[in-house]
Amino acid sequence: MSALAKMASNRLFWPVVMLLVLFAINLVAFPGFFEITVRDGQLFGSLIDILRNGAPTLIIAVGMTLVIATRGIDLSVGAVAAISGAVACSIILGSPAPGSLATVAVAITVALLISLVLGVWNGFLVAALGIQPIIATLILMTAGRGVAMLITEGQILTVNSPPFKFLGSGFWFGIPVAVIIAAVVFGLAALITRRTALGMFIESVGINPEASRQAGVRARGLLFAVYTFCALCAAIAGLILTANTAAADANNTGLFIELDAILAVVIGGTSLAGGRYSLLGTLVGALVIQTLVTTVYTVGIPPIATMVFKAAVVTIVCLLQSPTTAEALSGFRRRLAVRSGKGVAAS
Amino acid sequence: MKKLIGIAATGAMLLALTGCATSGNAASDGPKPLDELVVGFAQVGAESGWRTANTKDIQASFEEAGIELKFSDAQQKQENQIKAIRSYIQQQVDVIAFSPVVETGWDAVLNEAKAAGIPVVLTDRAVDSQDDSLYVSFLGSDFVAEGEKAGQWVLDEYADSSESVKIIQLEGTTGAAPAIDRAEGFAEVIAENPNLEVVASQTGDFTRAGGKQVTEALLKSNPDVDLIYAHNDDMGLGAIEAIEAAGMEPGVDIKIVTVDAVKDGMQALADGKINFIVECSPLLGKQLVDIVKQINDGEAPEKRIITEETTFTQEEAIEALPTRQY
């Protein structure tokens, strides 16, 4: 009993339960849900799709976790994703050899470098000018999509470049490349922030910037670093999203992905008030969101009701995680226990 | 940008002044020679390849007919479009044509045009107004008919089939007029054959990524699907990727029918990956010129004119592709 209570008090408990419930719903609607087969040397199955389609959201959510831990937020990730996709595709289209590895390498490098500039811009607004993060990143969120539109001249750029496409829909040792990239980003972020004191510094800036400054933590540099890292994550995700369909669509690439990423972080138990964060929680959160999308398709929820269904699931997760509800629930349980205890004594 | 608008406004005023000086013989007495006609066109913007083709075709058609066309781009903003229409009214153009950015909020400016005695033609999109005397004609596609054409092909293709045919529908953005109408027209036609069954219908938001993700998931739960009907080419192109990833051959193992006929879609049709495309044509310049001529001759054009649209099979796509404008 106490072991179970201990587990339930873990902040990962309810998100994981939710994920399992969603899996169960899928399994009922579609018995082959857990089947993973090898087709042409590639893993193939619903779970693989969830991992692959969830990869961009996860990558952005990793960056977002660190930003949120500093008591910030980055709304511009969707726009940055659109810009990086647009830049890469226009470079590939403009080169004489769109299929060559060198062209694709140049395109990816330039797209990532531009994202670094965009991240430094966000960091500058937040750390140097002291603008509230939600406002500072709102600027790039609105302007960025316009920039992406300018780059693509308002058209959908279709590229025919196998090496670029590999990024989005390719496989490496049977595993989708997008999943490998997400795993690397996740692993690096975890390693750098958790195996060094960096993660603790980020948390301290989020909890009390002034106290951490007096304790010798360089908050400004740290903020620059997290916003730049977040933009880099957004650009990587943007490249994967664009490569997935081999087309840069400035209007739609990464549209509303900032909300998915923030949601993944919140479901994972990291507070928007900053401070303690959990990358593992973010991973579970991103999986919950992507599984939710797949569930809508496999169960066949009509498109008109999709938003309501998603809202209901998210509300349940948030309610279960809230300390107030937990308190109320445990109070209820205690009363129940007392009552049944009395019943036993009386008999 | 402001400077440009300023220059345009000054130009408009100058033109209005000269217009006043020469407007002795008003338009109402008999047709004008074509080279004296002036038409103002207020375009939505340049948001897609479809729209760019629409603009180019209208400009080219008026040039060919020898009618002067004043063109403005509203960059997807209603207030810009209203400004443009007001300036056309001041310039006393003979006909105003425009594609409304949104459906509502046009009554005031259209009443001004009516008061000035300038006929208004809507192209491509309709306005939502109680008063249909505000415009003389609406020229645009019939989305229900597009759905019906797609349905008809499916009906003919599986006319001899005695087995059940499983269909997945990729819907456009939930609530958008083309999505609702294309679904309606399709459903009505395929109802004739009880073997045709839509097993799943989900929205792909008119995007490639949406079409791909939905198809991926639906192919897992419905692996024996025979046909995919997508409300636009982009979602169909996404579906192709998903089908290929599942180790099947698009256009053969699973047939695909889409609507739009943009270049990428036509290429896929010519490559045999799509089986049939219903055109939703942006090339309505010629028909617009005809309407303008009719108005000039004092005739009343039809209130609702449907864009001349065709359909494409794979063979027709190969033929049409080299001269495709968009």
How close A108 comes to chain B (CA, Å)?
20
Question: What is the DSSP secondary-structure string of A236-256?
Answer: HHHHHHHHHHTEE-TTTTTTT
Report the Cα–Cα distance between both ends of chain A, in Å, rounded: 24
How close A26 comes to chain B (CA, Å)?
10
Q: Do B212 and A297 touch (CB under 8 A)?
A: no
> Taking CA atoms, what residue in B is nearest to A294?
B217
The contacts of residue B121 (CB under 8 Å, 6+ apart) are B95, B96, B97, B98, B135, B136, B137, B138, B139, B288, B291, B292, B295, B301
> Taking CA atoms, what residue in A is nearest to B75?
A154
If interface means Cβ-Cβ distance under 8 Å, which residues of chain A face chain B? Answer: 29-30, 32-33, 39-40, 44-46, 49, 53, 153-156, 158, 169, 241, 244-247, 249, 251-253, 293-294, 296-298, 300, 302-304, 306
Is-contact A43 A247, C-beta < 8 A? no
Tell me the C-alpha distance between A192 and B133, whole Å: 69
* A282 CB neighbour count, 10 Å cutoff: 30
Tell me which of B201, B213, B232 to substitute to probe the interface with A (most A C-beta atoms closer than 10 Å).
B213
- What does the angle CA B76 – CA B77 – CA B80 come to, to the nearest 5 degrees? 120
pLDDT tens-place string over residues A123-132: 999 999 999 9
Question: What is the DSSP secondary-structure string of A5-73?
Answer: HHHHHSTTHHHHHHHHHHHHHHHHH-TTTT--EEETTEEESHHHHHHHHHHHHHHHHHHHHHHHHTT--
Tell me which of A245, A252, A256 to substitute to probe the interface with B (most B C-beta atoms closer than 10 Å).
A245
pLDDT tens-place string over residues A38-75: 888 888 999 999 999 999 999 999 999 999 999 999 99
In A96-206, beta strands by DSSP E? 157-158, 171-172, 175-176
How close A64 comes to chain B (CA, Å)?
23
Q: Looking at the partner chain, which of A49, A153, A247 has a beta carbon nearest the beta carbon of B217?
A: A49
Q: Do A44 and B246 touch (CB under 8 A)?
A: yes
pLDDT tens-place string over residues A96-139: 999 999 999 999 999 999 999 999 999 999 999 999 999 999 99
pLDDT tens-place string over residues A306-317: 889 888 988 888
Is-contact A162 A105, C-beta < 8 A? no
Tell me which of B208, B219, B232 to substitute to probe the interface with A (most A C-beta atoms closer than 10 Å).
B208
Phi, psi (rounded to 5 degrees) for A324: -65, -45
Complete edge-to-edge strand list for the sheet that includes strand B68-73: B68-73, B38-43, B95-98, B120-123, B137-140, B304-306
> Taking CA atoms, what residue in B is nearest to A244?
B209
Domains belonging to chain A, first-starting first, are 11-33+45-335 (1.10.3470)
Identify the weakest region by mean pLDDT among A298-307, B35-44, B113-122, B196-205: A298-307
Tell me the C-alpha distance between A159 and A245, whole Å: 9
- What does the angle CA B56 – CA B58 – CA B63 come to, to the nearest 5 degrees? 95
Tell me the C-alpha distance between B69 and B270, whole Å: 36
Residue B50: per-residue pLDDT: 75
Residue B21: per-residue pLDDT: 38
Q: Do B48 and A156 touch (CB under 8 A)?
A: yes
Q: Looking at the partner chain, which of B213, B221, B247 has a beta carbon nearest the beta carbon of A30?
A: B221
Q: How confident is residue A304, by pLDDT bands cut at 50, 70 and 90? A: confident
For range A327-332, the mean pLDDT: 82
Q: Do B217 and A294 touch (CB under 8 A)?
A: yes
Q: Looking at the partner chain, which of A247, A304, A306 has a beta carbon nearest the beta carbon of B208?
A: A247
Q: Give chain A's radius of gyration (CA, Å).
A: 22
For range B253-267, the mean pLDDT: 93
Tell me the C-alpha distance between A82 and B64, whole Å: 39
Q: What is the 3-state secondary structure (H, E, C) of chain B?
A: CHHHHHHHHHHHHHHHHHHHHHCCCCCCCCCCCHHHCEEEEEECCCCCHHHHHHHHHHHHHHHHHCCEEEEEECCCCHHHHHHHHHHHHHCCCCEEEECCCCCCCCHHHHHHHHHCCCCEEEECCCCCCCCHHHCCEEEECCHHHHHHHHHHHHHHHCCCCCCCEEEEEEECCCCCHHHHHHHHHHHHHHCCCCCEEEEEEEECCCCHHHHHHHHHHHHHHCCCCCEEEECCHHHHHHHHHHHHHCCCCECCCEEEEEEECCHHHHHHHHCCCCCEEEECCCCCHHHHHHHHHHHHCCCCCCCEEECCCCEEEHHHHHHHHHHCCC
How close A174 comes to chain B (CA, Å)?
13
> Taking CA atoms, what residue in B is nearest to A45?
B220
The contacts of residue A331 (CB under 8 Å, 6+ apart) are none
Q: Is B20 a residue whose pLDDT tops 50?
A: no
Is-contact B37 B69, C-beta < 8 A? no
Share of chain A above pLDDT 90, in %: 63
Share of chain A above pLDDT 70, in %: 96
Tell me the C-alpha distance between B57 and B62, whole Å: 9
Q: Looking at the partner chain, which of A32, A241, A298 has a beta carbon nearest the beta carbon of B209?
A: A241
For range A3-22, the mean pLDDT: 82
Q: DSSP secondary-structure letter at A172? A: E
Tell me the C-alpha distance between B316 and B309, whole Å: 14
Strand A157-158 relative to strand A247-248, pairing: antiparallel
pLDDT tens-place string over residues B70-90: 999 887 778 889 999 999 999
> Taking CA atoms, what residue in B is nearest to A35?
B220
Is-contact A158 A246, C-beta < 8 A? yes
How close A100 comes to chain B (CA, Å)?
21
Q: What is chain A's length?
A: 347
Domains belonging to chain B, first-starting first, are 2-18+29-140+282-309 (3.40.50.2300), 143-280 (3.40.50.2300)
The residue ranking higher by pLDDT, B129 or B61, is B61
How close B159 comes to chain A (CA, Å)?
28
Q: What is chain B's length?
A: 326
If interface means Cβ-Cβ distance under 8 Å, which residues of chain B face chain A? Answer: 45-49, 52, 171, 174-175, 200-203, 205, 207-210, 212-214, 216-218, 220-221, 234, 237-238, 241, 245-247, 264
Q: Is A271 a residue whose pLDDT tops 50?
A: yes
Residue B140: beta bridge partners? B306
Is-contact B222 B185, C-beta < 8 A? no
How close B152 comes to chain A (CA, Å)?
25
Chain B residues near residue A290 by CB distance under 8 angstroms: none
CA separation (Å) from A81 to A152, A167, B117, B290? 14, 14, 49, 45
